[in-house]
Structure 1
């Protein structure tokens, strides 16, 4: 434990990132197999179940998982963990009762074909909600290696089982749907496997039960805004429900693949930064230290990391999806182009959600989430009235991007970042991405004429790789090396 305590912010990020990279490497590596075993309509049902689990799990703990990081007394932290786990279990039981009582109503409302899919949703809520609690506990204990191992265990085991089932001829949508609960079950087991006895003693011991009412009252402000997490998850999952309502399961499946691939940078890097950011900023504020400079460094690092790679992805997305996942999935690549702006801003601003929690701005977090939900809903409906699914997603992407940009500006200001400093730190990545993007797109017609009978991508890909290398080399020498050197000041 003492070695873990000596790790700085960058060290904890790298540890969490290693597990995320392995887990997402498994996910990405298995996806081309899964897309050839399961058609887009199966992915559509998987997406609907996944969205339901995500939304329900986000409120199952009534946000009592968030303050687990905050108490100075370890016993209070154990009591919060116990309270949150009990709430997750009770909420999941309630969800199961609703599924058993109203199966046909829910199937018609959600557009789910299989009754078994519905029954997997409460189980998925139980596992996923438990993970949201135990991950925060592990962060407090600085058990970054265990959290990284859990990510890999969940991804590898669940996908292996689903692929084996598909190869055996079991290609019904419910088989794909089972991948989410399986992933979360193995992740949950790994999170507690290393110190299961001490976990039971600390969290479920008689002294901890006695503390639960006191911590529930002490942190009663968090449940008041649990609607924030609900609205936040609805923001993320809303397009899945809307596509199912306005269009068909095939469109839902195509959209789901696009989103899952776009989320990989978030899962690999963004979540690792966000979780370590929460632990670090909470610790700094407990010590009475300012966090403005640290927030600005994280924002700049995120901008550098995502900006120009997003430009290159936009250039190749449709052809890349058709090649990797099969011809029937090429339309997903077109959706990637449409959704890139909103996902880019989401990746850059992932840490602002935890920053609002750390600063105690739950009300403002809820209002921002509510605004984004309203704008996204109105924009999608307006776009759907104009025509096809792509038009609806264009309107949704534009509206959500505006709200996210406003949130970044406002939240960083609350953390002590001056507008002038924010502008200066963002100009260099934006300028470099614009210049290199202009070079790449300006060279494409020339490369097309030089290619002759060859596929022009054979010339474009080396150029893209060269420009990416130049981009990261420039920022490593001018900014990233300095940001890493500042870890001792963080």
Structure 2
């Protein structure tokens, strides 16, 4: 008999392990945020928000999505070949970015059509390489269920980011201090992951050959052919609100919006990222051993996330202004007003996004692309139509769109769990004896 979802067992233990490191990182982030909001202006945070938004979109495609296939091979040698393939593509992509920026800097800044874009674009290739490299190593760690190593890396990343941003902000700070801290945090976190995996990489290193890299590139070509474009639309759509606000509203409004989204994401990301990473390992296991139990398991996770979301939204809808004014200062009271409606958008994402790991399975790769394209197109259209309205109307339109589209997304995910006799021969199979892990880029989209 298959195991029903419960709050006991390996799944929850692994989630708690990951949450421990994330808690350490997020507690420090929360602790330094009141200091950062008094060092930097909302406009500075606007620049950081735009930088991280562009970085998020580009890092998604930097490895052509091959990194999401690291979990799938039965053999660790094949998995390491995919790691090397992903890393090589990332380095080439970042090098091309650096060359394009060097040659066309003025044109790029002009095309951006916002005063928030400046000389910091030279830091983008490095940031993209570090972010993509971190995701590659996260998959490799999760394959081996090295959740403690991931927890340590997250703690180092969070502390490194906060300390650097505070140090660079002395004097007073500028947006470059915030961006420098962001890049430093990723650098320290990635270094920690690499150091903790030197032995496992060395053990499988003899299996890495040019021929096997090419073989795995062909075997998992669905990821660059299909998953890449769906993920690009999905990641771009997640950043569309900020891009539109940066183009049609002031730098301060952009900073207030970006900071509010970050604050709301902190407690939810704490849970959703850990669940996503452990859930992927569990889903691949169930898909191989008992696919008929997938739907029940997914619905159980959804109900648990829903119970967390409701009180979260009520708190910020009722006391958002008071919370932001007290913690971050009176200059951030407007961000508290934004927090009410935006908590609903964050809540629906939190309930559904972790479940999207179901669509990472090789035979499910195509299923989410239609929704992702639809989401991107409809969101862009809605926000552009409302771009000339007041910010409160703009936010209400955004939230309404989120509720409707993520309800559709949940339906797509549930449908993808439907058990089919004689499933495709190329569906993801990870045997119980393998040390398969999970990844979490689907946490807070």
TM-score interval, smaller chain: 0.7 to 0.9
Matches within 5 A, 1:90-489: 90-110=92-112, 111=114, 115-167=118-170, 169=171, 171-200=173-202, 202-203=204-205, 205=206, 207-225=208-226, 226-290=228-292, 291-358=294-361, 360-385=363-388, 387-416=389-418
Q: Is the 8 A contact 1:128 1:184 kept in 2?
A: yes
**How far apart in 2 are the matches of 1:308 and 1:232?**
27
Equivalent of 2:47, from 45, 48, 62? 45
Structure 1 unaligned blocks of 5 or more: 1-5, 418-490
**How far apart in 2 are the matches of 1:194 and 1:409?**
39
Q: Is the 8 A contact 2:348 2:402 kept in 1?
A: no
Q: 1:210 to 1:359 in 2, by over 3 A?
A: closer
**How far apart in 1 are the matches of 2:317 and 2:29?**
21
Pick the structure with greater CA Rg.
1
**How far apart in 2 are the matches of 1:108 and 1:319?**
39
Q: CA deviation at 1:379?
A: 1.4
Q: Which stretch shifts more, 302-311 or 145-154?
A: 302-311
Q: 1:38 to 1:399 in 2, by over 3 A?
A: same
Q: CA deviation at 1:112?
A: 5.2
Q: CA RMSD in A?
A: 1.8
When normalised by structure 1's length, the TM-score is 0.80
**How far apart in 2 are the matches of 1:109 and 1:337?**
33
Higher relative contact order (CA 8 A, sep 6+): 2
**How far apart in 1 are the matches of 2:209 and 2:314?**
51
Q: 1:255 to 1:310 in 2, by over 3 A?
A: same
Q: 1:7 to 1:181 in 2, by over 3 A?
A: farther
**How far apart in 2 are the matches of 1:164 and 1:340?**
31
Q: Is the 8 A contact 1:40 1:249 kept in 2?
A: yes
**How far apart in 2 are the matches of 1:201 and 1:95?**
33
Q: Is the 8 A contact 2:160 2:185 kept in 1?
A: yes
**How far apart in 1 are the matches of 2:397 and 2:104?**
34
Q: Is the 8 A contact 1:382 1:392 kept in 2?
A: no
Q: What is the aligned partner in structure 1 of residue 35 from structure 2?
A: 33
SS class of match (1:384): coil
Q: Is the 8 A contact 2:367 2:416 kept in 1?
A: no
Q: Which stretch shifts more, 118-127 or 230-239?
A: 230-239
Q: 1:359 to 1:220 in 2, by over 3 A?
A: closer
**How far apart in 2 are the matches of 1:196 and 1:207?**
15
Q: What is the aligned partner in structure 2 of residue 438 from structure 1?
A: none
Q: CA deviation at 1:75?
A: 1.0
SS class of match (2:125): helix
**How far apart in 1 are the matches of 2:230 and 2:59?**
13
When normalised by structure 2's length, the TM-score is 0.88
Structure 2 unaligned blocks of 5 or more: 1-7, 420-445
